[in-house]
Amino acid sequence: MTQAPPPPEMTFQKSGRDPAAIGTVLAEWLATALPPGADPEVAILGGIDANGLSSETVLLDVTSTVDGWRQTKAYVLRVAPRPEDIPVFATYDLQAQYDAMRLAGSLSSVPVPEVGLAEMSGLVLGTPFFLMERVEGVVPSDVMPYNFGDSWLFDGSAADRAALQKRSVEVLAGLHAIPDAASRFAFLDPAVADHPGETLIARNLAKTRAWYDFASSAEEWGGRSPLVERGLAWLEANLPDDGGEPVLCWGDARIGNIIYRDFAPVAVLDWEMVGLGPREMDVTWMIFAHRIFEDLAAMLGLPGMPDFLTADDVRDAYVAASGVELGDLTWHEVHAAVMWGVIYLRIAARQIHFGEIEAPEDPESALYHRAMFEAMLDEVGA
């Protein structure tokens, strides 16, 4: 059974906040956070609607007086979602995101935007937030997916796409090369958030299980998914004995979260899924995210980009960049499919909340990768 792909007119509202009100309140806060006499003014330029489905992201300019001169700087405001806006994740540790970005930027050559002022109490905007530098460039679109055609990436030459693929995989290798990740990023271990397990990979799976329990029992539109539960049962029964060396895992490791210029990464964004884990988690996520878009393109009879971000090419590029051989990716592929299932359930709940769709009778009709997920579980004997 297949499900209908997302219609061209689909929208993904993230928040019920008034952007104009954010600008006013933020300016008042900056007047206390910046040196005396800064006299800050905030110009809200808009949000980013094409990509990202979780935290609120607002583009803004801040003009202030520095050493007697008025200067304008470009920022991005990252705001944790409010509970009433049906967040994708059960909890948002914005401090952990902030700290991970700051450390990753200082300990690697990966282009991580510089983070700036932060307010973590939630007393100013209702939830924690931080500012980071705004980097100009282009991003492969999620809505509509870049591989559907009529996108700068789809229209690029084969050489340009190959260069982008290689450089994107090198981002993962660069993050994973940060030494002593287990100690430097100990605050990202799932055990800190009370997700138990004898090994790091077991604790990551416990985190995913808790996330699904949150998503499937929510009051807004909680619906259990036999397919996700089937995947979770297989993962738990086939847990690898050793997850390998712990590395900093970006988490939502996909090209839709990278800003490019001339097909080269200039900013690595969206760190809300950051964590500690085996390197295979990030590598598989990058492959699987594109595979989902390819599956949707095939349903619509579109040519897609089948020769881009293939499993073999990404694995080879990663080994070449890191010098590290990867283990079998099968377990991680199923894990990625499960997590995408939870994401889709939460996105559907939020769309229902904001009146973008009617509540479907079958929760699994919200899983855009349903057919692929079913085939994957059949293949592993789940």
Enzyme catalytic residues: 252
Question: What is the rounded distance in angstroms from the CA atom of residue 194 to the CA atom of residue 31?
Answer: 38
Question: What is the rounded distance in angstroms from the CA atom of residue 75 to the CA atom of residue 50?
Answer: 18
Question: What is the rounded distance in angstroms from the CA atom of residue 87 to the CA atom of residue 89?
Answer: 6
CA distances from 147 to 15, 172, 178, 304, 306 (A): 27, 22, 32, 5, 9
* CA proximity to 17, closest of 103, 115, 126: 126
* CA proximity to 102, closest of 70, 126, 72, 130: 130
**348, burial (CB in 10 Å: exposed 0-12, middle 13-18, buried 19+):** buried
Strand 69-79 relative to strand 264-268: parallel, antiparallel, unpaired? unpaired
* Cβ-count burial 201-232 (b if 16+ within 10 Å, e if not): bbbbbbbbbbbbebbbebeebebebebbebbb
Give the chain's radius of gyration (CA, Å).
21
Q: What is the identity of the amino acid at 334? A: V
Question: What is the rounded distance in angstroms from the CA atom of residue 325 to the CA atom of residue 319?
Answer: 6
Q: What is the DSSP track for 94-113? A: HHHHHHHHHHHHHHSSS-PP
SS3 301: coil
The encoded tokens of residue 306 equal 């089948």
CA distances from 105 to 80, 112, 219 (A): 21, 5, 39
CA distances from 62 to 73, 77, 128, 269 (A): 5, 11, 19, 20
